[in-house]
Structure 1
Amino acid sequence: MSTSASNSQMNLAILFVDDEPQVLESLTRMLKPESANWKIRTATSYVEAMEQLSENPFDILVTDLEMPGQNGKKILEAAEARFPSTIRVVLSSSDFARQNITLGLQAHITLSKPCSKNEIVFTLEKLKNLKPILGNRKIAELMTRIRLLPPIPETFRQISIELQKPEPSLKKIGSLIENDPALSSKILQLANSPAFAVPTGVSKPSECIKFLGLETINALSILIGVMNLVHGVNESAYLNMEKFAHHSSETASKALYCAQTLNLPRDITETCYASSLLHDIGKLALVHGIHEVCERIHYFGKRPDLSLIESEKFHLGGVTHAETGAYLLGIWGLADETVKTVARHHCNTPNSIDDQPWAVLFLANHAANRRSFEDINHFVDPEILIQCLGGNENFNIAWESISEKRNEIS
């Protein structure tokens, strides 16, 4: 077993497990420049890995899958049961094995061998940023109950693979979109809507990428892919698919118009739209995985003394569809800010004092649920919204733009 030097200022503790010592030595050597901020430990077997995890708190576990005696799978199962707050990553050369482990929820994310230093560093830093969600014990316990989460939508998966390449091809991404009729139709509709008003109009989905942005494309591909999977399979009183689709689209439309009216930067505008479009995707995951529980959530949520969110928390161990959706988006690799905004869209406090996407999504969702301006203080302190949006004037502009905006891109 080899280790790197420890440091009290290190902010990320990682355990790498592989039965080949030379692989661990190569990883340790490759990641040595990160040693100022990372505490790296290694283990070559199930027994060593369990000893390390028992003796030290680790943020992330990275394990090979193909080890003698199915030890990789055993390590993931044990870590999930005994150390649920440790994020689990598979580093494997077996596509089939990686896919099945991920779908079984024993791993949060997978990486392919061989894996570049840049990809490892980018992925692990991203996971560190999402640890409050992926490493949340309550969410981890819920995931062990659900077990059957919707698989990652194929078009989004292919786009993600292309984006991970050193020089991703927008032409290839455009081709992937054009091979998905439902996604192509929605993207063309959105690009040619008044919300974007492309000067000359566009006729090919590949031409839309530069106007809509990749985060918007990703959000659309996820929503359409998951809805196609769930639609007609698990019709539920908890979730009416037609109403779900309309509400998601209307909330996103209002959020987009608000962000544009406030002249927010493009990246923040994309986050506002993507998080608003996907804010309720956790409901799809819950219906797909624990349909009967969702029916009870709906039944109790209709009581006058219990809201739907309170019913979710009661039946899901303190978790709601917001955190569930964020967890799903996090393991699928959506942008951190989108994931965090989805996670907190039913919280009465933002991620930070200038969290514009959270404030925009709150107001858009509030209006799409046909709630009034006067009702805002029943859910959140208006002063917090004012602070996030940069003052009273922006707050009033935001609400006026959201209130008057009809859904033109459903």
Structure 2
Amino acid sequence: MIDVQEAITRAHHAEWARVVAALTRRFGDLDIAEEAAAEAFATAVERWPADGVPPNPGAWLTTTANRKAIDRIRRENKRDDKQKEAQMLYDDDPVEPLGAVDDERLRLIFICCHPALAMETRVALTLRMLGGLTVAEIARAFLVQETAMGQRITRAKAKIKAARIPFRVPSADDLPARVSGVLAVLYLVFNEGYLATSPDADPVRHDLTAEAIRLTRLVRALLPDDGEVAGLLALMLLTEARRTARVSASGELVTLDQQDRGAWDGTLIAEGHRLVRERLATGVAPGRYQILAAINAVHTSARDIRDTDWSQIVALYDQLVRLDRSPIVALNRAIAVAELDGPEVALAAVDRLGEKLAGYHAFHATRADLLRRLGRGQQSRAAYDKAIELAGNTAETAALIRRRDQLG
């Protein structure tokens, strides 16, 4: 017997993005599209338990959402042209050309990453519209408050409406102008899967990492000469290779130095290393994702944590800092510096980031570890307490609690 609630959940994950994007393109209004889609899913919650799950849930949801949108437009008694266009939905829909991108989900990401919007805005809007991440998860990815992120997304919708930015199928000529936004979306989706920020989610969400890798492979097939696309794919593969070693049997996050390297996926590592070598062989100055991939290649080349070439990693971070002055990059560089120059030098660098990263749990976790290594137990405990307060991932929280309690 089909579990109706499970069917609705599965349909939401698979169909939300497609329904919203289709209605947005047809009616030219993202708010109407989202509200109609939400009403369609609410109707499913009411009807499916009594009527049963329809043979084609996606088609049922699309039809219901279309009719909800039409009803709303008619109630507003506006948009005469839109009503005429909407009436076509009761007949056979004209087939929309696929454009340069065959995959439905990837096509939607390219559609949403319109260059008329600021980069952060288009990334946030795309993550929300595709339904993979909540506003809270997106806010944590950008290190801002949830209310601020909600306002940012609302303003993006208003700009789309005011400027009449078209949600049309991208052509091959559109792709280069949009690819940076697409890569940013895929990277954030992958990161949310690699280390989920919500305490209500699984600590590691393989569904998100696998989908991000699949879509990045498709982008690479579209833009095979783009170094950053290859770099992001390599970064994802080298990170995903360590997934099964990241959470212990007791449910704790396992840090890189404690992981069983024999459990890493050698096939993914080999493919990631090959992509990194290919990009280095071009002689072209690497971008952000390529440098991050190279850092991960150094880590995955070491059979033991003691074999890690920390000087090379710090040198790569030095390159990255010149491209990306994010405080998170500076924090990660300091972690590598601790292995090369010692925890005292690293702590000084970390403390300089305090004002920018006060609300970031990894900042406090890093300070706690460095203070522990310096024998400053009371200060380390306080830093662990703050990291535990801010952390959302259950496996990471469990690991932080254990480390704090081991201070004695």
- What's the TM-score, normalizing by structure 2? 0.32
More helix by percentage: 2
- What's the TM-score, normalizing by structure 1? 0.31
More strand by percentage: 1
